[in-house]
Structure 1
C-alpha cells in the first residue's frame, strides 16, 4: 500500500530511540523528509545522518521539549530546513510514574504542554498543507488504572481528550488529529529494559498480564503511528488507536 508520504515533511519529538526512532525511520523509508529532536545531541546527529542515508532530507537538534522557547525554535527551523510541515508526532514523555507533586509538574510540562506547544508552533505550516495531521502518543495507562502513578495516567488520558478536541476544531480546515496508545513496549535503553534489570518482579508481573505473553517492539507501535498520520488514513480523525496485544480490558465504544 502506498501511504502517500513521499515528499511530505514530518516532525517527530523524541525521535532518536524507541518508538520515535522507528517512526522516523519508517517515515523516511516512505520518502518523507524528517526532523527529529531529543535531549542527547550525539544521538540526534547520528539519527539525522542515518535518515539522510535513506535519501531524504533530514534535520535535527538537541532539545528539552519542556522548554517552550527551544521547542518552538526547533519547529521553526525544521520548517525552514524541510520547506514546510505536513505531519507532527508528539512522542516525548517524562515517564513520571511517582506519586508526588514533582511527577505532576514533570508530566504537565513534558507530556502535556510539549504536545500543546508542538501543535501550536506547527499550526502556521499545517494550515497550508494538503495532508496535515497531528498524532499524539498517549498510553494504555490513560485508559485504565494500572501500576503507574496517577500523574502519568491522568496526562495520557488528557492527551486523548485534547486530540479529540483538535479533531473537531480542525476538521473544517482539513487537519486531522489522533492519538496512539501503546501497551508495554520493550527496546534497548527504554524504561522496560531498565525495569527488567532493576525490578525483575515488576517486569515478570507486567509480562504475565499480557495475553500475548510478550511486550511490543517499537516497530509494532510505529507502524500504526505512521499509517494513522499518513494520507492513507485520510478520513480518520479523532480516534485513539490502542496497540497493546489485548492487554487492556476496557471496551472502546
Structure 2
C-alpha cells in the first residue's frame, strides 16, 4: 500500500503540471505515454524488448502527433515504409516473429497512439474536458469496485476478468451521472443536462470496455500487469486502458451533440 501511494503521489506531481500547461508540454506527455505503453505491449507480445519493432511503432505514433507539420505524401510514404520494414522482420528473424504478431502490433499501435492523441486534443479544447473524462473514468472504476464488492453476484466477463460483476458495472456507470451534473453546472462542455448524462453514461461504459480489452490482452499473453513502470499500479497500459478508448469516443460524441 505504501509503495502504491508513493507512486501515485509522484505520478501526480509529474503529470498534473504538464496537464495544466497544456500545448506542446501535454503533446509531448501524451506521446511519451504512448511510447511507454507500446514498450509494455511489445514486451508482452514478444516476451522481450524488441527495439526495432518499438522504434517503428513509435515512428508511426510520432507521425500522428506531428501530422500538421509533415506533408500528406511524406506521411503516407513513411507509414508504408514502416509497414514494409515490420513485415521484413518476419523474414530477417527466420520466422521467429510471426505474421500474426506483426498484425497485432500494427493494430495496437493505432489503438494506443490514437487514444493518447485524442487525450491531447481534449486538452486543446479545454482543461475541463480532460478533467471531465478522467473524473468520469475514476468515478466509474471506484464505484464499480466497491459496488461489486457489496452487491456483485453475476460475473460481467468471467473468462477475461472474473472479479468484475454486472452489478458493479451498472453501479459504476450510474455513479458517473454525478460527474455529468457537476460539469453541466460548472463548465460549458454541455448545453443540456440530458445530453450530459447520456454522453457520460456512454463514456463510462466505453471506458469499462477499454479496461476489459486490456485485461483480455494480458490474459492472452499470461501476464498480471502490463509492466512494473508504476510500482504498485502496474504499467501505463494498466492505468490508461479506459482513457485511450473513451477519449476518441468523447470527441465523437461532442461533435454529434
Query: Given the two structures, how large is their TM-score scaled by the length of structure 1?
Result: 0.32
Larger radius of gyration: 2
Query: Given the two structures, how large is their TM-score scaled by the length of structure 2?
Result: 0.31
Counting strand residues as a fraction of each chain, which structure ranks higher?
A: 1
Q: Which has the higher contact order (CA 8 A, sep 6+)?
A: 2
Counting helix residues as a fraction of each chain, which structure ranks higher?
A: 2
